Amino acid sequence: MNPTPGSERGRAVAVPLVVPADTPGGWLARSLLAPFRLTYLLALTFAGLVALAGGPLLLAHHLMDRTHNSPSDHLHVYFGLLVTMVPCLVWGLSWASGGRGRAAGAVLTLPGLMSLASALLYHGDTPGGNHGLVLFAPFMVVVGVFGARWVASEQRRVVGRWSGTPVRDPYRRLPDSGSQPRWVRSRAAALGWVTDPALWRDVAWALVSGVVMVLGLGLLVLSPWLFDQLGPNGEFAKPAVLYGLALMMSPALVLWGAPVVLDLHARAAHALLGPSRQGELVARVQHLSETRAETIDHNAAELRRIERDLHDGAQARLVALGMALNAAEQLFETDPGAARALVTEAKVTSAKALVELRDLVRGIHPPVLADRGLVDAVQALALDLPLQVQVSGELDARPPQAVESAAYFAVNELLANTVKHAQARRAWIEIGHTDAGPNENVLRIVVADDGRGEADPTRGSGLRGIERRLASFDGVLAVSSPVGGPTIASLEIPCASPSPKTSSSSATA
Amino acid sequence: MRVAIAEDLFLLRDGLTRLLQAHGIEVTAAVESGEELLQALRADRPDVAVVDVRLPPSFTDEGLRAALTARQELPGLPVLVLSQYVEQLYARELLADGSGGVGYLLKDRVLDGTQFIDAVHRVAAGGTAMDPEVIGRLLTHNAAAGPVATLTPREREVLALMAEGRSNAAIAQQLVITERAVAKHTASIFVRLDLQPSDDDNRRVLAVLAFLNQDA
């Protein structure tokens, strides 16, 4: 049996607004989907703009105190209706494109839209009157910032899904300060959240993209009028004729134009919504200093363990051995029988010391790993377990020694978990390389068992430990373990430069 | 009997040579690398080759690979492999051709001179000498499920000693029981494991090892 089909679990099910790029006829489906996707983006952008600008707009609207008989009065009704429809549209499309729980974020854009709608519907009367407005507007600004962040996140998500290249989260990770009291942590979290430049970039994105959209759409709608005013209004190019032609061709224009606009938007989103260069560097430095500290701690702890094992084990036994031989030497003349017993004891002690040294060496660097490399070392490991383990796969070149060793001990830990907790009868291990790029080579190992599942990385310290140790190699561990099994753990470690087969330089057998 | 030794540490090589000579065994060659061993074996075929797993120049499993090559070139050449650690993986590779005349022991066993010399004689005669640690782990691997789990503790002891390559007489001596009792246990084990009984000690051992090494 092969474990890989199971690893497809956990991938999201395709939903109407998502078409995998490699489906036959996918381009047709994508072209037909493009207008819907564009609609969603426009609605999102509009919702984001209004969520942010709702409060200030209301205030301005009220201050300007427009007369009730303005020529555009009858537009209010249609515009108001449009505004109230937008949140429903945003919510529905977010849901349809796989947003699920995240679709609830659409609610954040509601206050701005609703109040704008009501102001428009009731001819400038703001909800709650003047006093209400003063209280309401600041609240709307705050909700608007949340809304803008949600809109930006939603755009990151859909652009990532539609273009196939994920747009990574730009937000700062808060340093782990687990030991401090809760209120200190919440305050630090709130402060970190507000001072994160990425949040304010989201807000700027919502504002600018909203304004660009409004200007663009306005230009499109007003183009006949502009043409009439500015263009050559001759016999052969009457604006009405041109406009009629454009109207007839509009479906084709939308089909042609929507993918172009989507593409432009995707590029902009990748450039502006992803992490900034500085943000990336800050995150990288943070990650490196965290993993470096952990690696140093781990190494120091390992050295202490080895020192203790030697001190309490082999070293103590050698002392006992020396003492027994010394005593025997003195007894040879007077009591040969007792001397013989002491020598026998010394032999047993030396055998025990050898066993302890052997176990210690196995824990530091397993001999088979040094002799043969990862696949055979894992095979040897599997043979020592009280369950049937099938090891498959091969590596063209040996990964760097540190990576090899980290991978070996990770697999060791995973198998130990399987034996201890999973009640499994069989296990499968697959080892291979995945090419991630020209100079990027990823070591990939899948460990699967038919046990009872329920392995939880957040609870077990073993899995957390593996995750942390892999992190110092930029490696990741993914565990899928539903109740009732099977458990599938997959670990990936990037190897910058797979070295050609090298020999270990340790000296003795 | 004539023996060739490959061991890179001078002290151990010297010790082994003396030990073997003290028991009236002729040492035809005492070399320190896998390549030298192959040359020595080709030049003058001894009765047994005693080989350390880790040898220069690579200091990996050079000795084991030399032993496997030697057995391919000179079929039936008895080989006794010594190592600072034992691995089931290597034991499998040594046993893979199923022809016997193979030994795989921890270097610790050399401490017990008579046992070691006994193992050398056994391997030279086409038998097997597997380290108790290899067999112990082999049984652990098989113990959870399958027919091995149905054996009584005594039968499992007999099975372990048999898998090491001991004869019925040696097993009886070790467990302090009569040879007939051992034969009874052996027969019962062969029924439980569904193996063809055989009077030949060596073939019996190989059957047991093949059974324990199969991937269920």
Catalogue all structural domains in chain B, each as residue range(s) with its CATH number: 2-130 (3.40.50.2300), 134-213 (1.10.10.10)
Distance in Å, alpha carbon of A426 to nearest chain B alpha carbon: 10
* Stretch A448-456: mean pLDDT: 84
- Could you give phi then psi for residue B30, rounded to 5 degrees? -130, 100
Distance in Å, alpha carbon of A499 to nearest chain B alpha carbon: 16
Tell me if B90 sits within 8 A of B64, measured CB to CB. Answer: yes
The reply to whether residue A368 touches residue B89, judged by beta carbons under 8 angstroms, is yes
Which residues of chain B are within 8 Å of residue A503 when distances are taken between CB atoms?
A: 57-60
Nearest to B89 among A379, A390, A503 (CB): A379
The reply to whether residue A347 touches residue B52, judged by beta carbons under 8 angstroms, is no
Q: What is the structure's pLDDT at A249?
A: 79
Task: Calculate the average pLDDT of chain A.
Answer: 78
Q: What is the structure's pLDDT at A262?
A: 87
Radius of gyration of chain B (CA): 17
Q: Where are the beta strands (DSSP E) in B33-75?
A: 48-52
Amino acid identity for residue A181 in this structure: P
Domain ranges of chain A: 26-165+187-274, 278-364, 367-495
**CATH architecture type of domain A367-495:** 2-Layer Sandwich (3.30)
Q: What residues in chain A have their Cβ under 8 A from chain B's Cβ atoms?
A: 347, 350-351, 354-355, 358, 361-362, 367-368, 370-372, 376, 379-380, 383-388, 390, 425, 503-509
Query: Higher pLDDT residue, A42 or B216?
Result: A42
Distance in Å, alpha carbon of B23 to nearest chain A alpha carbon: 21
The reply to whether residue A384 touches residue B140, judged by beta carbons under 8 angstroms, is yes
Dihedral angle of Cα A371, A377, A383, A385, to the nearest 10 degrees: 130
What is the spatial distance between Cα A346 and Cα A229, in angstroms, rounded to a whole number?
A: 110
* Stretch A424-449: mean pLDDT: 84
Nearest to B58 among A361, A425, A503 (CB): A503
Query: Higher pLDDT residue, A74 or B213?
Result: B213
The reply to whether residue A383 touches residue B141, judged by beta carbons under 8 angstroms, is yes
Cβ count within 10 A of residue A73: 12
pLDDT tens, A230-282?
666 555 556 666 677 777 777 887 888 888 888 888 888 888 888 888 878 88
Lowest mean pLDDT among A97-106, A360-369, A428-437: A97-106
The reply to whether residue B59 touches residue A372, judged by beta carbons under 8 angstroms, is no
Which two three-digit tokens encode residue B61?
């499993």
Is residue A8 scored above 50 in pLDDT?
no
pLDDT tens, B15-33?
999 999 999 999 999 999 9
| Long-range pairs for B65-73: beta carbons < 8 A, 24 or more residues apart | B65/B34, B66/B6, B66/B34, B66/B35, B66/B37, B66/B38, B67/B94, B68/B93, B68/B94, B69/B38, B70/B37, B70/B38, B70/B41, B71/B97, B73/B38, B73/B41, B73/B42
Is residue A469 scored above 80 in pLDDT?
yes
Q: What is the structure's pLDDT at A135?
A: 67
Query: Higher pLDDT residue, A17 or B164?
Result: B164
Nearest to B59 among A368, A388, A504 (CB): A504
pLDDT tens, A208-225?
999 999 898 888 777 767
What is the spatial distance between Cα B121 and Cα A303, in angstroms, rounded to a whole number?
A: 44
pLDDT tens, A311-334?
988 899 999 999 999 999 999 889
Task: Calculate the average pLDDT of chain B.
Answer: 89
Closest chain B CA to residue A358: B85
Q: What is the structure's pLDDT at A306?
A: 92
3 state DSSP class of A9: coil
Is residue A456 scored above 90 in pLDDT?
no
Q: What is the structure's pLDDT at A77?
A: 59
Nearest to A358 among B63, B84, B92 (CB): B84
Query: Higher pLDDT residue, A23 or A47?
Result: A47
What is the spatial distance between Cα B103 and Cα B80, in angstroms, rounded to a whole number?
A: 4
